[in-house]
Amino acid sequence: MRILVVDESPDARRTFFEALAGGPDETKWAVVPDESRALERLGREPFDVIIVDLGAPGVNAPRLLEAAMRLDPQMVRVVVSDGSDEKRVLPSIKAAHQCLTKPYDPLEFQAVLARAGSIHDLLADRRLADLVAGIDTLPSLPAQYMRLMEEVQSETSSLERVGQIVSEDIGMAATVLKLVNSSFFGLRQEVSGLVQAVTLLGLDIICALAISHHLFSTFDQRRVPGFSFDGLWRHSLVTGGFARKIALQARQDKSAVDRAFIAGLLHDAGKLVLGSTVTDRYNEVLRIVHDENRLVSQVESQVLGTTHAQVGAYLTGLWGLDDTVVEALAYHHRPSACPRQEFGPLAAVHVANILEHELCVIHPDYARPELDAAFLARTSLQDKVNRWRDLYRQVVESRA
Ligand SMILES: [Fe+2]
Ligand SMILES: [Fe+2]
């Protein structure tokens, strides 16, 4: 992996030495102090990751990131901020995939590199790489998500500020209130304040909602007429809520229960990305699914060479979501192919997704995906499936 760092501080060099010590040998990195030298270097050799310090003098970060994006849309773009200048952060993060905060934390830095590395592994699948290379620009991380992450990571973070950020987008605020009052979370009292909603749902779920809200609200339904937009939103929410219940029943801890919900909410997000980036070919996918009653993922493989599962995993990996969430997205149709086989968000989402398709039939003549029998046998989950069917009915019947 080749990394270009645009930062003139001595702190930067030390951090990279520390972070890369003991790392893979094939990692190569270059540090340049300003924008013109960065552009010169980018013009001379290819890089997989660019890291730009927003505070470096002589660097117009939004302009540099745009230039990097035009040069190679697949380059992982990371911004570094010390959190002091929000005005400068906002325009830059529109073109960034990940955000680091200063002072540099070698562990955080290593995590960013590891994520960039796993993105590379995913791209080792030639067909996904070809598709991604054909997309002009990969969707960048929603600005609201970046602001939420900054708030969460800042030392002075407060739930009031998070509530404030959520309230600035009316659609997002409505989604949060609707969700917290739905039966998925089983609260007895009506919640009407955003701060209380944020407290009850937790920051991880709020951040995931910001991502899904962004993908849904920027999707142009008119360009993909065969796409059941409302159906997908409903299916995503129910799968998330149902996966959460399954994880609760399997006595998973709070964080795993939240990740099951998040993975369920985002499991089909790749469909939105494909529909808005390779629109003509995706319309063709939907036509074949409709005319020949075939599975969406099967036709996606045939027409596009990859599936919404891989694309969703690729993007959420790029955006730095938890590994177990990325894994759940990647393998949600065929969990037996996943190297990790213990119970986790993947198992919950796989079962929730299949039972949701089985029990809520929107198109009776469409082919429906099936449970992965090999996976259920290996994880001894077969006898639980009937219990989960009942659980699903409870979730859906009591839904607000
Ligand atoms: Fe799917
Ligand atoms: Fe699904």
Q: Over the chain (400 residues), what is each successive 10-residue block's mean pLDDT?
A: 85 71 69 92 91 84 83 77 64 67 75 67 66 64 78 80 88 87 77 89 89 87 88 91 91 92 95 91 94 92 92 82 86 86 90 87 73 89 86 68
Give the pLDDT confidence score for residue 337 in this predicted structure.
85
Tokens 């074949």 correspond to 288
Measured in Å, residue 239 CA sits from the centre of ligand 2 at 7
Give the ligand whose atoms come closest to the C-alpha of residue 270. Answer: 1
Report the separation in Å between the CA atom of 333 and the middle of ligand 1, taken as the mean of its atom positions.
6
Distance 342 CA to ligand 1 centre (A): 21
How much helix, strand and coil, in percent to the nearest 5, is found in the chain?
65, 5, 30
User: CB–CB of 162/173 below 8 Å?
Assistant: no
Question: What is the domain class of 170-187+201-397 according to CATH?
Answer: mainly alpha
Q: Look at residue 400 in the predicted model and tell me its pLDDT.
A: 44
Sign of CA pseudo-dihedral 89, 95, 99, 102? negative
Ligand nearest the Cα of residue 312 is 1
Geometric angle at alpha carbon 310, from 307 and 314, rounded to 5°: 140
Distance 309 CA to ligand 1 centre (A): 6
What are the tens digits of pLDDT across the range 197-231? 998 888 889 989 988 888 888 888 899 998 888 88
Domain 2-124 has CATH 3.30.70.20: no
Q: What pLDDT, on a 0 to 100 scale, did the predictor assign at position 76? A: 79
Q: What percent of the chain has pLDDT over 90?
A: 26
| Alpha carbon distance 303, 116 (integer Å) | 27
The DSSP string of 309-320 is HHHHHHHHHHTT
Where in the chain is CATH 1.10.3210.10? 170-187+201-397
Q: What is the pTM of this model?
A: 0.74
137 CA to centre of ligand 1 in angstroms: 23
Task: Give per-residue pLDDT as tens, 294-326.
Answer: 999 999 999 998 899 999 988 887 777 887 898
Distance 166 CA to ligand 2 centre (A): 27
Q: How many CB atoms lie within 10 A of CB 21?
A: 9
- Ligand whose nearest atom lies closest to the CA of 296: 1
- Residue whose C-alpha is closest to residue 320's, from 163, 101, 157: 101
In whole angstroms, give the CA distance from residue 106 to residue 283: 45
CATH 3.40.50.2300 in the chain is located at 2-124
Q: Tell me how far the alpha carbon of residue 266 lies from the centroid of ligand 2, in angstroms.
A: 9
Cis peptide bond N-terminal to 103, omega within 30: yes
**E strand or H helix at 133:** helix 126-134
Give the alpha-carbon dihedral of 210, 215, 217, 219, to 10 degrees.
Answer: 180
Distance from residue 106's CA to the centre of ligand 1 (Å)? 36
With CA atoms as reference, report the closest residue to 295 among 278, 328, 271. 271
b (16+ CB within 10 A) / e for 212-246:
bbbbbeebeeeebeebeeeebbebbbbbbbbbbbb
- CA of 330 from ligand 2 middle (Å) equals 12
Which ligand approaches the C-alpha of residue 297 most closely? Answer: 1
Provide the residue type at 164 as one letter: Q
The neighbourhood of ligand 2, an ion, using CB within 5 A, equals 268, 353
Task: Please classify residue 324 by burial: count the beta carbons closer than 10 Å to its beta carbon, then call 0-12 exposed, 13-18 middle and 19+ buried.
Answer: middle
